[in-house]
Amino acid sequence: MFHALQMHFYDKALRDKEVALKACRESLALGHFEALLDELKLASMRHLKQHLQKLPRPSERFDAENYKKQFDAFLQRFPILGSSTHSIVNSLAPGTILDYVIIDEASLQDIVPGILPLGCAKNLIVVGDNRQLAHIPVTLGVPAPAEAYDCERYSLLDSCIGVFQETLPRTLLKEHYRCHPRIIQFCNQQFYDNALVPMTEDKGENPMRLVITAKGNHARQNTNQRELDSLLKVLEAEGDPVGVDRDGRGFIAPFRNQVDLSGTHLPVDFVKDTVHKFQGRECDEIVFSTVLDRKRYNQTPQRLAFVDDPRMINVAVSRAKRCFTLVTGDEVFTEHNRHIAALMRYITYYAPDDQVVRAPVVSAFDLLYREFDQSLARLDARLRPEDSRYKSEQIVAQLLREALADPSCQALIVHDQVKLDQLASPSNTEWTPRERALMARASCDFVIYFKVGKTPVGVIEVDGGSHDRPDQIERDGVKNGILAKVEIPILRLRTVESRIEERIGEFIAQWASPAPDA
């Protein structure tokens, strides 16, 4: 009964809104709104061009050497100048006072260089948004004369507000012209108390997408390979990007390491940078990778507060003009229940089901985690604890058994924990002392041999989280070098990677026998 009443209420409210919207559109059509707007734009542009055309043509020619000597004439010819806050004083003739100085992105501006333009301005306009990312302060170690001048805490925008307080006239630029209405509406609701007025048009597109990686802890060293693999899987299924023009596609993340990793995986047309570096920029399509997983280290208040900072999320979402994709982990931010959790709920509510993609990539190594995708249950049941004390090696051992069971691989056999000096002869005089020392104690996880002749043909190594340590990276490099010298190829499988079965199959296929003729 109550549900039926609720549905009746919403149906009636929706019909009323549709009637009101239709009336507004008819009123605009009767008044020829679109034609009048186009006429106004055209007339405004003509007026500007006529004004510029009437300006006297100076006879002087300016260059970097002489423009300051004729600065009044230079300003007559070029009445609007562009400069950074650092260089404006050196860019003007000595003693020049400009009518207006406009400082943009003032929330990113340090106080000290930001003060420099104030000395050459009659009027100052400070443009910024303290709901977006603040500047990254430089530690000066110099006490501030008052709190509002604290360079290590406040941006130029914050300082101006703190100094002048209510005497400073403020104007909120409400009209928003960049993002699709559905995209900016999240920021509007979450950060601006619905004060923004989207001026773009919703033509029925699907501008938001959510990609949730498979269960498990996939982050390492401020990178998340699985988020990149999942994004690539979605992009492959999507085909060529739709609605992407000259502003292209962008990939952003909170950490530089993830941005660097994306450079080796994503298509070259993606512009890749951190969220901080992307402030003030825009793309037709933006992908935001959150990187963190559910490991205790990544669930600390400091780590969560950095990634789930409201200013970070506001900037990340509002960089997208036509399409925004959030790539994140399963239940990583749910308990924190702040801005990323709200963004996930928003996309899930408004996006169609096919734009919410869960676990597009599942790896055999996901069995290392307490929770894993149920598609791996059969493989988990086939693992043999006697293969190794490490479950990662149990997984690879089972996948190798299954791959070598193929008739084309009957000539191959695999052995585990083979000493390195059994593959490379220690009597070789070309080994360096470091290589000899490693050969004496190191072993290889799996070695593939030809059954006949016992010739080693390939090595497979399983690299867990310890292989990201500098000392282990050095040892792995030495081992790779030894195997390269004896011409034995090596396949390294990192436990955060995917496509494990395919990669093992591709690796051993180079020694498989060709299928017999039918």
Q: In what order do the strands lie in the sheet with 249-253?
A: 270-274, 249-253, 283-289, 320-328, 208-212, 356-358
pLDDT at 392: 95
Query: Which secondary-structure segment (H or E) carries 293?
Result: none
Q: What 8-state DSSP symbol labels residue 409? A: G
d(CA 316, CA 314): 6
All structural domains of the chain with their residue ranges: 55-137+145-164, 181-361, 377-510
pLDDT-derived band at 384, boundaries 50, 70, 90: very high
* pLDDT at residue 138 tops 80: no
CATH number for the 181-361 domain, one of 1.10.1740.10, 3.40.50.2020, 3.40.50.300, 3.40.109.10? 3.40.50.300
The mean pLDDT value for 304-314 works out to 96
pLDDT at 518: 44
Percent of the chain with pLDDT over 90: 64
> What residue type is 437 in one-letter code?
A
pLDDT tens by residue, 410-433: 999 999 999 999 998 888 888 999
Give the confidence band of 8 by pLDDT, cuts at 50, 70, 90: confident
pLDDT at 212 over 90: yes
C-alpha of 2 from chain center: 44
- Collapsing DSSP to helix, strand or coil, 412 comes out as strand
- CATH classification of 377-510 is 1.10.287, yes or no? no
179-188 per-position pLDDT tens digit: 999 999 999 9
**Where residue 515 falls among pLDDT bands split at 50, 70, 90?**
low
For residues 134-155, average pLDDT: 83
**Please, what's the b/e burial string for 12-43 (b: 16 or more CB within 10 A of its CB; e: otherwise)?**
eeeeeeeeeeeeeeeeeeeeeeeeeeeeeeee
Per-residue confidence at 149, pLDDT binned at 50, 70, 90?
A: confident
Q: How many Cα atoms sit within 13 Å of 469 on the Cβ side? A: 6
Average pLDDT over the chain, rounded to an integer: 91
| pLDDT value, residue 455 | 92
Which is higher by pLDDT, 489 or 513? 489
Higher pLDDT among residues 240 and 233, named by residue? 233
Q: What average pLDDT does range 192-209 have in this prediction?
A: 93
Lowest mean pLDDT among 164-168, 305-309, 326-330, 456-460: 164-168
For 87-124, how does the pLDDT look when each residue is reduced to its tens digit (9 = 90+)?
A: 998 899 998 999 999 999 888 888 888 888 988 999 99
| Residue-wise pLDDT tens digits, 119-133 | 899 999 999 998 998
pLDDT digit string (tens) for 323-369? 999 999 989 999 888 999 999 999 999 999 999 999 999 999 999 98
> What is the layout of strands, in order, in the sheet containing 490-494?
412-419, 443-450, 456-463, 490-494
Digit-coded pLDDT (tens) for 238-294: 877 655 666 799 999 999 999 999 999 999 999 999 999 998 899 999 999 999 999
